[in-house]
Chain A
Amino acid sequence: MELKAGSRLKSGVCDTQVMVIATPDGDLELTCGGAPLVDVTADAPGGDVAADHKNGTQIGKRYVNEAGDLELLCTKPGEGSLAVAGAALTLKEAKALPSSD
């Protein structure tokens, strides 16, 4: 599917929802729990979370691909884990910042 920053997607097989923060151009094969991510307003196809895509997502965490040009923010947590073209997305480590406001 073709993405743009601000797009909201959900998992077809768990509760995970994400927002696209950054994306490369072109079609991407994004999955969660082993099944394709769908538009947040679409009906979830349902099914089981694949055993090898079951590490879970955490709300408020950002997930990136290896190239660093795809970034998703988890807005609702779920059981499945995120991947692009079969490669797992990894947690973007946040640098601890002092509270400035």
Chain B
Amino acid sequence: MNVMMLLEMASGAMGDRVAVQCDDDHFSHADLYAGAGRVAEFVRGTSAEHLAILDTSSPAVPLALFGAGWAGMPFVPLNYRLTGAELDALIERITPAVLVTDAERAKELAGRDGLEVITREDFLAIARGDAATPESDWSMEPEDIAILLFTSGTTGAPKAAVLRHRHMVSYILGSVEFMAAAEEDAALVCVPPYHVAGMAAVLSSIYAGRRIVQLPNFTADGWLDVAHKAGITNAFVVPTMLQRIVAELEETGGAAPTSIRALAYGGGKMPLPVIDRAMSLFPPTVDFTNAYGLTETSSTIAVLGPDDHRVAAFNDDPEVKRRLGSAGKPLPGVEVEIRDDDGKPVSVGERGEIWVRGEQVSGEYLGRGSQLVEGGWFPTNDGGFLDEDGYLFVLGRIDDVIVRGGENLSPGEIEDVLHEHAAVADCAVVGVPDEQWGEAVAAAIVLKGEVTAEELQAWVKQHLRSSRVPERIEFWDELPYNETGKLLRRKVREALGTEA
């Protein structure tokens, strides 16, 4: 198996359709196919063992992803925000390599051992070159590595997740119907290439025949502008992006783009009020989908679909309404179990760790081997539970659980309640060292109205047990997020833990 085969099919069946466009530049499926072949020839002519990209989104991203697959080497999209020692450490792990980057970086990185640096412009010129498209000679070995993706490392040094061709192909075949998109369909891709959702978006859109419109640097007004102008029908955003889009629409009184039919979100926990507001700002015909997944599972493993959104959003039954905060149900071909600390499945409604199994589940890190346990199960390190109808609720990283006096408290549950308060714009709940309880509940709050710490404590107490009431509350101007919208809890914990 090889991701190249997906492109070959798209090129054969809909070669003239635009596959990817960015600003004024675009490639059809047939151009992308031929370009991938030329890229493969080029990298095979070097001593590289990896093809890496350190750049914002552009047609070079799909060209490098497929070209690497054709050449039989892993594609490595690196975080273009990294600099200095952090970046050096990652590069060291992938040399010898070809690295595609912007002109400025190309100068900085030139001359390093084992690194052949090429600018994006030169790389695109190779892809567009006159050389004939090579014979399709890519390996179909399912175990070959398609993508190495460094995890965001919010809890420590980044690990490189190993995604093999069989994982990516299984994900696409299991979740996307070939050529399902209409000719005019267009997907707005604003997640960076080094995020698994960015990789998934490229592969699914190409297999579905949906034109990819790249937005290299996300801003809410930029997103709305491209959505209007490019006739965007599908889009995926992380929660902070949707939060900003909603705020932009509310502030400017602008209309949501009418071409949009499907808006998917994931990559972090979506506060309920944000999705509620988004659903009232976008036309009721827009299909909202919550996608839950991990890098190690080749992206999405569970979805809360459009019908579930509509039923939950406009329902008075609190049990049904609550489902809007769930990750929905596992994809076909993906099994989910909730297990206790000993790895034993728990009963419906009981909390534990989310375990997952399926063809798309890699659960492997470079140099550390497979983390899959008996029967092919992967413990995600995410806490959660399943309700009686099989809806999956994700409670956040298990490492983030607050242990107060022997009781396990989930930060997400307390944050959900705080988010419901009219004066709270954003919040983060963490455990901080406490002499009496081992850990105490602390909260950093960003305000959009007036409220005192005591009032917020009373608010939480009114909705949850008193053990969950934050003993320490600080008001901040903003919370620390990384660029893909992941809350940096470690930073919150450090700040709240030391300023006692």
Contact = CB atoms under 8 A, between A and B. Distances in A.
Contact of B303 (A61, A73, A75, A100): A100
Contact of B1 (A5, A95, A101): A5
Determine chain B's interface SS by DSSP, over half rule: mixed
A19 B5 contact: yes
Given A99-B262, A100-B291, A73 B141 contact: no
Contacts of A47: none
B197 to A, nearest CB: 6
B305 interface: yes
B303 A98 contact: yes
Nearest to B265: A100
A8 to B, nearest CB: 6
Contact of B166 (A5, A7, A98): A5
B8 A97 contact: no
Given A6-B140, A6-B141, A59-B178, A97 B1 contact: no
Contact of A101 (B12, B179, B200, B287): B200
Nearest to A7: B140
A62 interface: yes
A100 B203 CA distance: 12
B305 A98 contact: yes
A77 to B, nearest CB: 8
Nearest to B202: A101
Category for how many chain B residues contact A: 35 or more
B166 A59 contact: no
Interface of A: 5-8, 19, 21, 59-62, 73, 75-76, 94-101
A97 B175 contact: yes
A60 B175 contact: no
Given A59-B13, A99-B234, A75 B166 contact: no
14 contacts: A5-B1, A5-B166, A6-B142, A8-B140, A59-B179, A60-B13, A75-B8, A96-B177, A98-B262, A98-B264, A99-B264, A100-B264, A100-B289, A101-B236
Interface string B279-293: 000000001010100
Given A98-B287, A98-B289, A99-B264, A60 B332 contact: no
Determine chain A's interface SS by DSSP, over half rule: loop
B299 interface: yes
B300 A101 contact: yes
Given A6-B166, A8-B140, A19-B1, A75 B234 contact: no
Interface string B1-24: 110010011001100000000000
A68 B200 CA distance: 27
A96 B289 CA distance: 13
A21 B142 CA distance: 10
B449 to A, nearest CB: 34
B173 A101 contact: no
Contact of B201 (A75, A76, A101): A101
Interface string B158-192: 00000001100000010111110000000100000
